Amino acid sequence: MSNKLLVSGAAGQLGGAVVAHLLDTFGVDASRIVAGSRDPGKLADIAARGVATARVDFDDPASMAEAFAGIDTLLVISTDALGQPGKRLAQHKAAVAAAAKAGIRHIVYTSLINPEKSVIHFAPDHVGTEQALRDSGAGWTVLRNAWYMENLMAAIPSALESGTWYTASGTGSAGYVTRDDCARAAAAVLASGPTENAVHSITGPESLSVDDLVATLNKVNGTSIEVVQLDDAGFIGGLQAAGLPDILVNIISEFDRDVRAGTMAGASDAVKTLTGTAPVSFADFAATIKG
């Protein structure tokens, strides 16, 4: 195929991994890829591999008009503008509108598991962006990414040290997935030249509760971590006492509420179906942090 691909947010961890998988896992020629960032100076390593770079700023229509010209398939990675209500959704809508105006045939977007049910404060940004995609006139693929296993590193080190994992998630579960598996799935979609509209739930191989996570950690490390369930107020108080910034306190506590409510539950086979390789299990992830 000769269609041109653009990855936004390519200076970030997810975007950079998508570009790497396009090149290394799926064998896409570097000449077909454009890596976009608000600061292309951060893309030197990618450029060194023969990939073109472009300034892509969702707050700057002119940058998008220039970068999107001649692009066939675009990956819109959700931005990090979480501190200002409404800004993130406005950025995403601007990107979708610019893509449609530029004649991009297919837009791929990184969303959230069950955003229409989630209590996480930025979930409406995903709901609104998904609607903008449906209204755009372009083809679209929504990748509803589950909670990253890497996010659990906010709790795992202290649990290993103290022997206690505090949670407000009850008996609920989530389909934790590695960031790299999310990147591999996104790269697979881009490389395939998608033509049909689709929504994929991108999860790990299992839906796991905190009790499941702790049982695995104990098995891998020979520890005896205990789970302590708290109510929302107690959990939030503990996060605040640990010195976490308010935005992280909000996100972590909201996530636990979602898990408790069943919003994050379930595991799909989308990663294996899209990429041909099964996603990393939590047991394998835990083994990498042993000791």
Rounded Cα–Cα distance for residues 285 and 263 (Å): 23
pLDDT single digits (tens) 264-284: 999 999 999 999 999 999 999
Residues spanned by the domain of 39? 5-145+179-202+267-279
Q: Which helix (H) or strand (E) is 53 found in, with range? A: strand 52-55
CA angle at 253 for the pair 126 and 290, rounded to the nearest 5°: 100
Residue 107 maps to a domain = yes
**Is the distance from CB of 158 to CB of 216 less than 8 angstroms?**
no
In the predicted model, is pLDDT for residue 291 greater than 70?
no
Residue 166 maps to a domain = no
Residue 141 maps to a domain = yes
pLDDT single digits (tens) 79-92: 999 888 899 999 99
How many CB atoms are located within 10 Å of the residue 288 CB? 10
Instruction: Flag whether the pTM goes above 0.85.
Output: yes
Amino acid at 45: D
Burial of residue 185, with CB atoms counted within 10 A of its CB: 0-12 exposed, 13-18 middle, 19 or more buried: buried
Q: What is the overall mean pLDDT for the chain?
A: 96
Residue 252 maps to a domain = no
Number of domains within the chain: 1
Copy the structure tokens of residue 134.
């449906």
Rounded Cα–Cα distance for residues 28 and 37 (Å): 20
pLDDT single digits (tens) 86-117: 999 999 999 999 999 999 999 999 999 999 99
Residue 132 maps to a domain = yes
What is the CATH classification number for the domain harbouring 86? 3.40.50.720
Over range 20-46, report the average pLDDT. Answer: 98
211-235 per-residue burial string, b: 16 or more CB within 10 A, e: under 16: bebbebbbebbeeebebebbeeeeb
In angstroms, what CA-CA distances link 43 with 21, 47, 86? 16, 6, 28
Over range 5-34, report the average pLDDT. Answer: 98
Residue 256 maps to a domain = no
Residue 123 maps to a domain = yes
Amino acid 290: pLDDT? 62
What proportion of the chain, given as a percentage, has pLDDT over 70? 99
Handedness of CA 34, 196, 148, 238 (dihedral sign): positive
Q: Residue 202's beta-bridge partner residues? A: 145
> Could you tell me the pLDDT band of residue 71, with boundaries at 50, 70 and 90?
very high
pLDDT single digits (tens) 175-230: 999 999 999 999 999 999 999 999 999 999 999 999 999 999 999 989 999 999 99
Which positions ≥6 away from 136 have C-beta within 8 Å? 96, 97, 99, 100, 107
pLDDT single digits (tens) 222-265: 999 999 999 999 999 999 999 999 999 999 999 999 999 999 99
**Is the distance from CB of 172 to CB of 208 less than 8 angstroms?**
no
**Is the distance from CB of 114 to CB of 66 less than 8 angstroms?**
no
What does the CA dihedral 154, 269, 93, 128 come to, rounded to 10 degrees?
A: -80
Amino acid 166: pLDDT? 97
> Could you tell me the pLDDT band of residue 127, with boundaries at 50, 70 and 90?
very high
**Is the distance from CB of 167 to CB of 230 less than 8 angstroms?**
yes
Amino acid 1: pLDDT? 47
Residue with tokens 């409406």: 124
DSSP string, 20-44: HHHHHTS---GGGEEEEES-GGGGH
Residue 27 maps to a domain = yes
